[in-house]
Amino acid sequence: MAEYKKHIVGEATKGITAGVVGALLLLIGQQWLSSDLEFKQISRDGYLSATLGQQGLAMAFDGRPLKNVSIVEFTIFNRTSKQVANADFVFTVNGDSRPALVSGGIIPPRGMSAAESVEELVSKDANARKFRIKVLPKQRDTEYFHAVFVFDGDKAPSMSVSSVAGDVSIVPYQQWKDTTTGWLIVLGVMSLWVAVQVAVMSLIEYFWEPRKHKKQAERFAEHATQLVSEGKLKSTTPNALADATSIYASFSRPKPSKLWSKVLPEQRFEYLP
């Protein structure tokens, strides 16, 4: 029964380990092989909780008063394996209904100067704004470039972002990478837990095996003596019984642990020939 449990635990450990290694290789492969930048987009209608007039404020754009504003935000991530230089992006307002753009720009992460890291370029499309991010570092925690566009009105328009640099592409945020990382952590914790359980069980077994082995040999000898007393054995000499016990003890002696035998004192087994 003990050997069966050890076998089951061993196979489970192998399966979990294989799953962790596979997920890790998949995640690392995607991180290193993927060259796509990613973005998240959020639209905020009626950004002001109350109109400017109700708040006793007045704001004008192109000589016209503003009642409310809406906002479209893009968060740009670089989860590739390298820093990206001179990435050009075009942010386009889609659809027929295009509210007036009050302001727009890209805010760099903390510690980076907007003047040194972001440059606005000339766009031939009146409905688009073009920017160049001079240096896009590899992603670190929650530091990212943040593009913000403020529009007149309480309804945010549909917008899109595209890359116009030949060697740089940008795609919607790949949520599956976060999911893979989460499962990888769960599998890692499970694998660690199973590994600790196996190590503790094998350590206990390492110290228990000599005593267990001795008791098995003693029970064998007692059983042989009982058979002799019942006349069920042909050879009844003490030497024959001792030899039989030694043979059984040698045959049933457990194999030394590959791990603990290298770091702990050698196991002492009795009834050796």
Which domains, from first to last, does the chain contain? 36-167 (2.60.40.1170), 195-263 (no CATH)
Q: Residue 83 pLDDT > 80, yes or no?
A: yes
pTM, rounded to two decimals: 0.59
Give me the sign of the Cα torsion angle 150, 151, 155, 157. Answer: negative
- More reliable by pLDDT, 39 or 232: 39
- Tally Cβ neighbours within 10 Å of residue 121: 12
Instruction: Please tell me what DSSP assigns to residue 244.
Output: H
**Strands, E assignment, 24-166:** 36-44, 60-61, 64-65, 69-77, 84-93, 101-107, 118-121, 128-136, 145-152, 159-163
pLDDT band at 18 (very low <50, low <70, confident <90, very high): low
- pLDDT tens profile 126-184: 889 999 999 898 877 777 899 999 998 888 999 999 998 768 889 999 888 777 777 77
pLDDT band at 273 (very low <50, low <70, confident <90, very high): very low
Residue 132 near residue 87, CB atoms below 8 Å = yes
Q: Residue 31 pLDDT > 60, yes or no?
A: no
Residue 1: per-residue pLDDT: 43
The CA angle 130-131-134, to the nearest 5 degrees, is 155
